[in-house]
Structure formats: structure tokens, C-alpha cells
Chains A and B, each alone.
Chain A
């Protein structure tokens, strides 16, 4: 399924590359919940350029305050503890960018995502990327790459996975992969089968749009 060209973000509007890909998946006028919204870059874009009814959740108080100062509806909270309060199917899209690997219970978080939203959009770094494998093999140390730059002792990423790991988990949780994009280290998108070994080796990040089996078509 190729993206509807009417949804694509005009290049002239500045938006981080991976957020642009997320924004392109979102229909104008929809209700969006952005979990781990940071300083509100994606939400702000969606609200101002796609007429979205946007809400956010962010762990860092500084991030929350910055968002609210800019007129965004954001609450302080974390994906592990605060998702159960959201009602079922309350949003068209729930977005979790680059955060799944930092949650304590990623499988529970995923369940909540597809419960709360008709679609869930999830992005995460791929631990199976060839550079990670090569570094571990040749250096014998936990790999540090531009996508995963932290030292092993102060990284927030406690549940790293590969593209294949993620796809397997979706199968186990009866979650349908509706769309997927694999990204290289420069954030360029490739259309590769996520169940294939090529995607698992070449993708620095994975970006998936998911739905619970009852919701998917």
C-alpha cells in the first residue's frame, strides 16, 4: 500500500526526517496521541498543518512545560504506567517514536497502543543492523552508533530488539502490521519486507503502522 500523495508533507516545512515519515501516515483532521512527544515538534506540526486534534504525553517535565507553553495539550506521564487510563479507541492514531525500547514492559505498551488507537505508529532502532552486529563481533563491546549513541551504563534503552523480533511480537500479540518502512542511518526510507533478512540487516530504524486484529481490514 503506497502512501497517499495528498498526505505527504511539503518539503519546505522543516520537520525531522523520521517525524516526517510518521506525519505522512496520518490523515488530516484525525485525533492523535503522541507518546513521548518531547518538545512537541511532531504534535505542533500536526496541529498547525494537518488540522489534527492532538494530545501528548511526555516523561520529562521540561518537555511537558515547553509543550504546554506552546499551547499544546500535553500531560506528564510515562508509557509504562499511564496508558491504562486512556479509554479504548479514543484516538485514530497513537504514536510512539523511538521510545518502545526504553519502556519496562514493551509488550504491554504495545497492547495498550492498539487498544487506545485505531492505528498505532511505532518507530524503534533496529539492534540487528549490520553495523551493530559488526561492532559487537569485531570490538567485543556493546555497539555505539549514531542511532544508538549511549554508553551501556547510562542508556535508557533497556529493551532493544531487531526488526524480526518486533514482527514476531506483533504476531504473538495478534497485531496486524498495516504498513512498514525501514530506514537507513541517514533516515532514507526503503520498502523492504520486514519479515526478510535484508530488512533486518539494512534497517537502522523500523517504522510500523499497526492495528489490533479486530480493527484491521
Chain B
């Protein structure tokens, strides 16, 4: 590995040393990197300055070879393995990330950045536009998955990491993994795209559109300018979340958990309260989501997912996105995932095969639907552990 000199510090910014992290003065855990150098966006616009909020777990080793970048999904954030600063709920991948766990914080240095367009500290529609002193709202440029990854790469450069040991993520996180492997093949030793697709189907786009329309139909959305009016399109965002949440589950699982059971009552009410347990569950999902997520961010991030089409960037042939790659891939899908079904993940595997890439593919039997990648799935975890162990051996990473 050639020596890699970390980029010089930007004027006025303290260099954030990953081994002795110093949090910028914010009211939330983690770090925030502000970059003055313009970030070119696919739309043709450029962002300058921009901020990337991120969190890390574990320690970067001496030769900076043990870094794993975790890419969060649509409504995730950088709080992978600690209580969420707003809701207090356990980190979204707490089950996988920690001492001795599959993504072992005693062995690896884990990084997770809030995506561009997000609402947990990275530049996005709810942040202040430095040019105007007011929130961006819908003047924030429309961003893509490639833009998110471009910003993450800037962070990885800043941390002085020449090659990430692994880039891993599920759902929209998986799209970022594919984009990383395609755009920066030499920077990625192993890539694990989980329960994802190389592009959204018409059905995927349709569901996202329903969510966006729900938000925009809320009277409190105010054409995106709700922050200044001191209101929030909470009802619309909650409905968007309810619809999306159904797509993350499977019919058998919903039936198993709720069936037609009534919530705290013996008979139907002949009204429009939440009679059924499943209604209560969804309403609760919606309400708790609104506490921590910004409506405009939801518009931008779902848009980025809908626009993602890796094959289209490469003459319509997905294999071209991975030509001559030396990255080791492990694709994982779940049997009951009907949002990003196995067939979509197989397409990725076929393309990787056609590019003669080193790829493993595992379909995990489960009835937990798309959400399975977040839940306790022993076969999924064992596969991941084995794959990473094999890669670590190939890379010469010490135990």
C-alpha cells in the first residue's frame, strides 16, 4: 500500500483525528465535518460549504486498514449502535455492531455518516443555507445516491483512509454500497449490499410517490416552508411512514403479529378509531417517526432512491459498472422481502458474474420481510461473520 497523506486541514477547521475524536459543539453525539471545497452534484449544482455529520465506533488501526463504512437506509441515521439522541431507542444496527458482535468494535473501526439531504446534522433541507441565513427548504438542490457517496468519500479522505476494508448497508444503504463499489473500486476491499436493488422498479417509485403526496397534501407543509411558519406537516409525514412501513413487513408476519385482533376491546366500534391492533401499530409507527425525521428530508431522500439507476449510468449494462473490479462482494437477500425481492438482488449478482467479479450470494429464509436485515436473523449474521472473516484473512488483518 502506498503512503497516503491525509488532506491538509481546511482553513479554520480543527483537524479531526479519528483516534482521539473531538466532537464539534453540537447538542448531539458524534462529529460533524464541514467542507468548504465545493461538492459537485449530479444535478449540475454544487454545494459549498457542506456538512457531514457522522459517528464512529471502535478504533482505527495503525495502518488504517480496518475501517468499515456503514451506509444507513432511507430513514436511518448515523446512530448505529447507541441510543438515539431524540427517541432514546436502541441504535438501528445495535444487534450487529458492538464488542464481539459481527461488526466487532474491538476489531474494526466503524463509520456511519448521515446522508446528504438528511436531517441529523448533514447538509439538508432543514439546515440553514449559509447564503441566506434561512433554512434551505426546497431550495436545497435535489441530491442523488451518487452525491451522497461523493460526500462520504470526502469524509473518508479526511479520515486518512486509503481503502475501506468494507462498505456495508441494507436497502438504500445497499444502493450506496453499489455506488461506492462502482465509482471508487480501489477504495473498497469488500462490499456487502443487502436487500437492495440496482434501480427502483415502478412499484418502488409508486410507493414513494404515495408517501411524498401524503406530505405535500398536508396543509402544514406550506410548499416546504413550514420551518419558518413554526408548523410541521406531521400528519402527512406520519401517513407516509405508515404506508412505507407496510412495505417493510411481510403478509405472513403481519398476520402472525396482529391478524384481525382488536386493540383493547372486545368488539368492533362501528367508528374510525384504531379498532384493530395493526391500525394501532401503524399509527404508533407514524407518530414516533415524526419525532425524529424531517418531512422535506423525506422528499429528497425518497427522490434519490427513485433516481438511482446504476445500469443507466453505464450504457444500460449493469455489468459495465463493475468491470475489472477487484472488490470482494457478498450479496444478501431475504425470501419474504417483496420491496427489494431476491430477483432484484440476483440481477446484481448476475452483473457481477458477468464482470468476473468475486461474488457470494446468499438468500436467507425468513418471514420478516424487508426489515429482516435489521432484525435477529441468525443465518444472516452467521453468513456475514463468515464472509468478513474470510475477507479479513485475505487482507491480512490481524485478529
Instruction: Indicate with 1 or 0, residue by residue over B336-357, a CB within 8 angstroms of chain A CB atoms.
Output: 0000000000000110011110
| Tally of A-B Cβ pairs under 8 angstroms | 65
> Does A71 lie within 8 Å of B362, measured CB to CB?
no
Q: How far is the CA of A65 from the CA of B356 in the complex (A)?
A: 21
B263 to chain A, nearest CB (A): 37
Q: How far is the CA of A73 from the CA of B390 in the complex (A)?
A: 9
- Report the nearest A residue to B332, measured CB to CB: A68
Q: Is A90 an interface residue (CB 8 A)?
A: yes
Q: How far is the CA of A68 from the CA of B382 in the complex (A)?
A: 9
> Does A69 lie within 8 Å of B382, measured CB to CB?
yes
With a cutoff of 8 Å between Cβ atoms, the chain A residues found around residue B199 in the complex are none
Q: Given known contacts A55-B358, A64-B361, A65-B362, is B349 in contact with A75 (CB within 8 Å)?
A: yes
The 8 Å CB contact of B360, one of A75, A86, A90, is A75
> Does B387 lie within 8 Å of A86, measured CB to CB?
no
Number of A residues contacting the other chain (C-beta, 8 Å)? 20
> Does A72 lie within 8 Å of B353, measured CB to CB?
no
Q: Is A74 an interface residue (CB 8 A)?
A: yes
> Does A73 lie within 8 Å of B354, measured CB to CB?
no
- The range of chain B's interface size is 20 to 34
Q: How far is the CA of A87 from the CA of B386 in the complex (A)?
A: 27
> Does B390 lie within 8 Å of A76, measured CB to CB?
no
> Does B386 lie within 8 Å of A69, measured CB to CB?
yes
Q: Is A61 an interface residue (CB 8 A)?
A: yes
| A interface, over-half SS | mixed
> Does A61 lie within 8 Å of B385, measured CB to CB?
no
Q: Given known contacts A65-B379, A85-B354, is B361 in contact with A71 (CB within 8 Å)?
A: no
- Report the nearest A residue to B329, measured CB to CB: A73
Q: How far is the CA of A85 from the CA of B386 in the complex (A)?
A: 26
Q: How far is the CA of A85 from the CA of B347 in the complex (A)?
A: 10
With a cutoff of 8 Å between Cβ atoms, the chain B residues found around residue A72 in the complex are 360, 390
Q: How far is the CA of A71 from the CA of B363 in the complex (A)?
A: 16
Pick the most buried of A67, A70, A71, A74: most chain B CB atoms within 10 A of its CB.
A71
- Report the nearest A residue to B351, measured CB to CB: A85
Q: How far is the CA of A71 from the CA of B359 in the complex (A)?
A: 11
With a cutoff of 8 Å between Cβ atoms, the chain A residues found around residue B37 in the complex are none
With a cutoff of 8 Å between Cβ atoms, the chain A residues found around residue B359 in the complex are 55, 73, 75
With a cutoff of 8 Å between Cβ atoms, the chain B residues found around residue A71 in the complex are 386-387, 389-391, 393
Counting from the closest, the 3 A-B pairs by CB-CB distance are A71-B390, A69-B386, A75-B361
Pairs A–B under 8 Å by Cβ, sample size 20 = A61-B362, A61-B363, A64-B360, A65-B379, A65-B382, A68-B330, A68-B387, A69-B382, A70-B386, A70-B390, A71-B391, A73-B360, A75-B331, A75-B353, A76-B361, A76-B363, A82-B353, A87-B353, A87-B354, A87-B355
Question: Told that A68-B390, A69-B386 touch, could you supply 9 new A-B pairs with CB distance under 8 A?
Answer: A55-B358, A61-B365, A65-B383, A68-B362, A70-B390, A75-B360, A86-B353, A87-B354, A87-B356
Chain A residues with a Cβ under 8 A of chain B? 55, 61, 64-65, 67-77, 82, 85-87, 90
